[in-house]
């Protein structure tokens, strides 16, 4: 009962209130409700965004400033010391390069292999298809963390431990991605490919020049997921590599966090490293924002 009163107080001009009422047909409680909704959303948005603002601000602070003013969004004295140290006096560029290499290959591999397998499972009729699909579902339910030791065992056994091959090849396909592609291919009409088939195109040709171009929405989903997945991957690289030349950003920054390369806390340095490693996924996110926000549409709908 208190809400209508509050609104009446807030919207001081009665004529404006009347106009709003007549235009939108909203009773006063609805206006109060809407203000409340905005208030809640704004507070929540601040909670979600503030940590990142603090992060960027702190990366430009001096160590002492970061320790004494952890909340301020403006450095007392602007300092790029953290970034200089990262790029000129540490392995950070190497980490970045390794992450980039792995991400590019893994993303390309997944786009190709996932769509290839997804197409076969959705469209081609062959004995054993259902068995493969059932196995795929089973494989999908294996939690990744359980695979830490197993992956190391097989990578070690194959002699690809501590190599780019060991870092990239095991990630080249993922069950969930195949599943997404299969769902997508099932949702596009078969008539187009039938036509091409009758015209005498081979299976791979039909797939490559007719079906794949039609699958762009789903492919974008795969690109986003694999880019993000391989850029942010940590555990696989922990078990697949040990040498400093093959350290990725995730592994390198994790070692920074636990105190390597630094005396004292050195928060600006760590936060600068974390901020830089966020930039590529953030850029990716803003490029494909519309698609990400409708990811499930792209993957499941028509």
Partner 1 sequence: MSTPARTPRRSGIRGGEAASGWLFTAPMIILLGMFLVIPVLMALWVSFSDWNGRGSPFSGTVSFVGLDNYSALVGGGGLAEQDFGTALRNNAWYVLLVVPIQTMLSLLLAVLVNRQILRGRGFFRTAFYFPSVTSSVAITVLWLFLFSASGAVNKLLAFIGINGPNWFNDPSGVLHNFLGLIGVETGPAALTGNTFLGISFWEWLAGPSVAMSAFILMAVFTTSGTFMLLFIAALQNLSGDVVEAAMMDGANGWQRFWRVTLPQLRPTLFTVLTLGLIGAWQVFDQIYTGTQGGPGKTTLTPAYLSYQAAFTNQAWGQGAAIAFILFVIIVVFTLFQRWLLAERQVSARRMRPYQPQPTSGGSK
Distance CA 161, CA 244 (A): 13
Using the rule CB under 8 A, is 213 a contact of partner 1? Answer: no
Question: What residues from 1 to 30 belong to the interface with partner 1 (CB under 8 A)?
Answer: none
Using the rule CB under 8 A, is 192 a contact of partner 1? Answer: no
**Least distance to partner 1, CB of residue 218, Å:** 15
Distance CA 287, CA 228 (A): 13
Using the rule CB under 8 A, is 207 a contact of partner 1? Answer: yes
State the maximum Cα–Cα separation within the chain, in Å, rounded to a whole number.
80
CA distances from 186 to 2, 210, 213 (A): 54, 15, 15
Distance CA 169, CA 236 (A): 11
Using the rule CB under 8 A, is 235 a contact of partner 1? Answer: yes
Using the rule CB under 8 A, is 67 a contact of partner 1? Answer: yes
DSSP state of 158: T
**Binding-site member from 27, 70, 159, 244 for partner 1 (CB under 8 A):** 70
- From the number of C-beta atoms within 10 Å of its C-beta (0-12, 13-18, 19+), residue 198 rates as exposed
Q: Which is nearer to partner 1, 8 or 172 (CB)?
A: 172
Angle at Cα 223 formed by Cα 192 and Cα 105, nearest 5°? Answer: 115
Those residues whose C-beta lies under 8 Å from the C-beta of residue 3, and which sit 6 or more positions away, are: 28, 29, 32, 33
DSSP state of 145: G
Using the rule CB under 8 A, is 287 a contact of partner 1? Answer: no
**Least distance to partner 1, CB of residue 115, Å:** 9
Give the position of tokens 């007392």.
76
Q: Which is nearer to partner 1, 18 or 73 (CB)?
A: 73
Distance CA 122, CA 218 (A): 14
CA distances from 178 to 28, 58, 135, 186, 207 (A): 51, 41, 12, 12, 15
Residue by residue, DSSP assigns 79-137 as: --HHHHHHHHSSSHHHHHHHHHHHHHHHHHHHHHHHHHHHHHHHH---TTHHHHHHHHH
Using the rule CB under 8 A, is 274 a contact of partner 1? Answer: yes
**Least distance to partner 1, CB of residue 198, Å:** 7
Q: Which is nearer to partner 1, 5 or 68 (CB)?
A: 68
**Least distance to partner 1, CB of residue 278, Å:** 5
**Least distance to partner 1, CB of residue 13, Å:** 21
Q: Considering only 77-85, 88-96, 212-220, 257-265, which stretch makes contact with partner 1 by CB under 8 A?
A: 257-265
Using the rule CB under 8 A, is 259 a contact of partner 1? Answer: no
Q: Which is nearer to partner 1, 9 or 71 (CB)?
A: 71
Q: Considering only 2-10, 75-83, 87-95, 197-205, which stretch makes contact with partner 1 by CB under 8 A?
A: 197-205
Question: What residues from 90 to 149 belong to the interface with partner 1 (CB under 8 A)?
Answer: 113-114, 116-117, 119-121, 124-129, 132, 136, 139, 141-149
Q: Which is nearer to partner 1, 163 or 228 (CB)?
A: 228
Q: Which is nearer to partner 1, 87 or 136 (CB)?
A: 136
């Amino acid at each position: 009962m208190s809400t209508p009163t509050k609104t009446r107080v807030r919207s001081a001009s009665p004529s404006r209130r009347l106009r709003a009422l007549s235009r939108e047909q909203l009773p006063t409680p609805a206006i109060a409700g809407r203000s409340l909704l905005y208030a809640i959303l704004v507070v929540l948005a601040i909670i979600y965004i503030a940590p990142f603002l603090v992060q960027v601000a702190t990366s430009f602070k001096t160590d002492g400033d970061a320790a004494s003013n952890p909340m301020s969004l403006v450095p007392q004295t602007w300092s790029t010391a953290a970034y200089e140290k990262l790029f000129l006096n540490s392995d950070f560029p190497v980490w970045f390069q390794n992450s980039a290499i792995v991400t590019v290959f893994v993303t390309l591999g997944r786009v190709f292999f996932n769509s290839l397998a997804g197409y076969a499972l959705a469209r081609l009729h062959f004995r054993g298809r259902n068995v493969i699909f059932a196995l795929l579902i089973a494989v999908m339910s294996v939690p990744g963390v359980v695979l830490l030791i197993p992956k190391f065992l097989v990578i070690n056994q194959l002699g690809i431990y501590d190599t780019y091959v060991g870092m990239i090849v095991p990630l080249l396909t993922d069950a969930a991605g195949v599943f997404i592609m299969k769902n997508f291919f099932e949702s596009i009409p078969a008539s187009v490919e039938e036509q091409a088939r009758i015209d005498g195109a081979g299976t791979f040709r039909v797939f490559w020049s007719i079906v794949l171009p039609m699958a762009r929405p789903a492919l974008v989903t795969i690109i986003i997921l694999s880019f993000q997945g391989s850029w942010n991957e940590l555990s696989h690289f922990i078990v697949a590599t040990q040498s400093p030349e093959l350290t990725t950003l995730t592994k390198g920054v994790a070692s920074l966090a636990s105190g390597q390369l630094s005396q004292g806390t050195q928060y600006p340095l760590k936060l600068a490293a974390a901020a830089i490693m966020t930039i590529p996924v953030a850029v990716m996110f803003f490029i494909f924002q519309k698609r990400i926000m409708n990811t499930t549409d792209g993957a499941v709908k028509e």
